[in-house]
Chains A and B, each alone.
Chain A
Amino acid sequence: MNARPVLRLEGISKSLGGKRILNACSLTVCRGELKVLIGPSGAGKSTLLQCINCLIQPDEGEIWLDGKLLDRTDDGALCAFRAQVGMIFQDFNLFDHLTAAENVTIALRKVRGFSRARAEERAGEELERVGLANRRHLYPAELSGGQKQRVAIARALAMDPRVILLDEPTSALDPELAGEVLSVIQLLARGGMTMIMATHQMDFARALAHEILFMEKGVIVEQGAPAALLLEGRATRTRDFCAKLADLRANR
């Protein structure tokens, strides 16, 4: 694998209402890597992902994309940066007044400056890729949760992102719908897309992640290859947490 770093964070900290949500988080993602963030609710996974593309402005720390330091005070640079960093939200956040295809084309046209025809062609390709070519004229209210999330993925992919951030993309979905979204993400991972994903889907993380980062109380406390962290008999915080998740599932 090409080990060129795509995205690097250094010492990202964030306090909200006097409470430290993130404490000096650093990470590096190389091209084609899938990093999975896990940890209990409130650990700061979501905040970290939103700090990466500055939807939440970090108080401290630095962010590099392709070796270039991001100047967070420059609005133009921030927009250009975000256009290269895809984001998938837990609750999809499709634009409710636009059809599936328009959801994909709007940023291409208004941010990238594509012509309508070129944007529509590209949207067709991306919707095809997530298996929704025949749903292109439907509005978000007419799509299932899994379909909405797949449109959101198509919308992010159309921007040719350098890296995609996924914030618990399947948490709002039932297992069947989650499965259809996960298989799209799996396809992307196999295709060499660089991704950072917060999730509770441990089987998925184990099978596909290059590295698992375990977060707790705003700190990345453990990180390593899934095989190493989840090895039988290893007393890692990650394994402990996963055992609890497995217990919960068994008891249900």
Chain B
Amino acid sequence: MPDIAFWNETLLPALNRGLLVSLALIIPAGTLGFLGGVALGCVRVFGPPLLRRLGDGYTALLRGVPLAVQLMMIYYALPKLGIYFEPYGAALTGFILCTAAYQSEYVRGAILSIRHGQVQAALALGFSLREAVFWIIVPQAARCALPGCGNEIIYLIKYSSLAYLVTCMELMGEGKVVASNTFRFTEVFLAVGVYYLALVTIAGFLLRRLEKRFHIPGFGPR
């Protein structure tokens, strides 16, 4: 028999609290990470050589080090340099920086798949390279990259659970506290799993809507 009182009075209120914090991490991190990824991707393809190399280095570093380690560095190491973060701020910063690095790779791939003629045509009309990238390349690359970028957002939803490592009490953190206090690990983490599954399902639905909304004949499925 499930313990209704435990679910209603302890577990669900805690998880709902955590859910709000998770959303407050995922939505800004997803949005800013995507925009950052587009900017970084453009710099890595069209930027001056020095910036290009910096962008590549940044991506290599952030993709090469586990996110858990990055969060630890932001939360525990940066204060030694005089930079302090709240747990929420540390988690959000870590997610934005990390997701932007991954997104830039999807965007870079999309940019490389765009025919060079598109830039040439824009330049031939008198656009500067920056204008050509902004008005012609980005709108096309963003559309091509959308499925991949959506995939990264799905990942983000799940790796947002690492925020509890820096004591940011989101879904996973709240669940862990309830579980440790009550020793009901199975029920708690089953419920946590269902919450994440629901989040990912809704995100998948929204991303498909987004793809449809921005669909243009000649891009993606006909």
User: Hey, which bits of chain A sit against chain B, CB under 8 A?
Assistant: 53, 55, 75, 79-80, 82-87, 89, 91, 93-97, 106-107, 110-111, 139-142, 152, 155-156, 159
Annotate B209-221 by CB proximity to A: 1 below 8 A, 0 otherwise.
0000000111100
Q: Nearest residue in B to A141 (C-beta to C-beta)?
A: B218
In the complex the two chains form, is A110's CB within 8 Å of B127's CB?
Answer: yes
Nearest-CB distance from B141 to chain A (Å)? 10
In the complex the two chains form, is A96's CB within 8 Å of B120's CB?
Answer: no
| Distance of A97 Cα from B117 Cα, bound (Å) | 14
Point out the residues of chain A lying under 8 angstroms from B218, CB to CB: 96, 139-142
B136 at the interface (CB under 8 A from A): yes
**What are 30 A-to-B residue pairs whose CB atoms are below 8 Å?**
A53-B124, A55-B120, A80-B126, A82-B124, A83-B126, A85-B124, A87-B124, A89-B117, A89-B120, A89-B121, A91-B117, A93-B118, A95-B118, A95-B121, A95-B140, A96-B218, A97-B139, A97-B140, A106-B136, A110-B127, A110-B131, A111-B125, A111-B127, A111-B131, A139-B218, A141-B217, A152-B121, A155-B125, A159-B125, A159-B126
In the complex the two chains form, is A96's CB within 8 Å of B124's CB?
Answer: no
Q: Which of A75, A94, A107, A141 has the most chain B CB atoms closer than 10 A to its own CB?
A: A107
Point out the residues of chain A lying under 8 angstroms from B128, CB to CB: 75, 79
User: Hey, which bits of chain B sit against chain A, CB under 8 A?
Assistant: 115, 117-118, 120-128, 131, 135-136, 139-140, 143, 216-219
Kindly list 5 other residue pairs between chains A and B, CB separation below 8 angstroms, not including A96-B140, A139-B218.
Answer: A89-B121, A93-B115, A96-B219, A107-B122, A110-B131
In the complex the two chains form, is B217's CB within 8 Å of A142's CB?
Answer: yes
In the complex the two chains form, is B118's CB within 8 Å of A96's CB?
Answer: yes
| Distance of A139 Cα from B217 Cα, bound (Å) | 6
| Distance of A141 Cα from B140 Cα, bound (Å) | 14
In the complex the two chains form, is A110's CB within 8 Å of B217's CB?
Answer: no
The 3 closest A-B pairs by CB, nearest first: A83-B126, A141-B218, A93-B121
Point out the residues of chain B lying under 8 angstroms from A106, CB to CB: 135-136
| Distance of A155 Cα from B127 Cα, bound (Å) | 13
| Distance of A84 Cα from B126 Cα, bound (Å) | 8
Point out the residues of chain B lying under 8 angstroms from A86, CB to CB: 124
Q: Nearest residue in B to A87 (C-beta to C-beta)?
A: B124
Point out the residues of chain B lying under 8 angstroms from A156, CB to CB: 125
| Distance of A152 Cα from B121 Cα, bound (Å) | 9
In the complex the two chains form, is B217's CB within 8 Å of A95's CB?
Answer: no
| Distance of A83 Cα from B125 Cα, bound (Å) | 5
| Distance of A156 Cα from B115 Cα, bound (Å) | 19
Nearest-CB distance from A54 to chain B (Å)? 9
Decide yes or no: A97 and B219 within 8 Å by CB, A89-B117, A91-B117 being known contacts. Answer: yes
In the complex the two chains form, is B216's CB within 8 Å of A139's CB?
Answer: yes
Q: Nearest residue in B to A55 (C-beta to C-beta)?
A: B120
In the complex the two chains form, is A93's CB within 8 Å of B125's CB?
Answer: no
Q: Nearest residue in B to A140 (C-beta to C-beta)?
A: B218
| Distance of A91 Cα from B124 Cα, bound (Å) | 14
Nearest-CB distance from B25 to chain A (Å)? 32
Nearest-CB distance from A112 to chain B (Å)? 8
Point out the residues of chain B lying under 8 angstroms from A107, CB to CB: 122, 125-127
| Distance of A15 Cα from B12 Cα, bound (Å) | 71
| Distance of A184 Cα from B141 Cα, bound (Å) | 33
In the complex the two chains form, is A82's CB within 8 Å of B217's CB?
Answer: no
Point out the residues of chain A lying under 8 angstroms from B118, CB to CB: 93, 95-96
| Distance of A3 Cα from B136 Cα, bound (Å) | 38
